[in-house]
Amino acid sequence: MAEKRAREHKESKIKGNSLGTAGFIFGILSILALAIPGIIISLAGFIFCYVQQKNKPTKLGKAGLILNVIGFILSLIWIFYLGPIVLNWLRTLPQT
């Protein structure tokens, strides 16, 4: 019985970081994507990291949470502040 429990514990260490890793990668992608895709990616990554931290807290999951929040905030800033500025600037360019 003790051997089975030790084997399950070892297997859970190996398999237990998948959601944290996926959420971390989504966090990086959300920072790079910006706008609507950035928001969608950051929400998915945040959910993955949240589930990871709830079940088995890891450093990668915690870093993923932080990256996803940063990606979400940057995407909102892009949509509501920088996007309109860039569009107005593009309208002022001479057309050929």
Q: Which residues of 62-78 are buried (b: 16+ CB within 10 A; e: fewer)?
A: bbbbebbbebbebbeeb
pTM (predicted TM-score)? 0.75
Which conformational region is residue 34 in: left (phi greater than 0), alpha (psi within -120 to 50 degrees), or beta? left
Please, are residues 23 and 53 in contact by the beta-carbon 8 Å criterion? no
- Return the pLDDT at 86: 87
Residue 59, pLDDT above cutoff 60: yes
Reference 48, options 74, 18, 75, 28; nearest CA is 18
Side-chain-side CA neighbours of 75 within 13 Å: the count stands at: 23
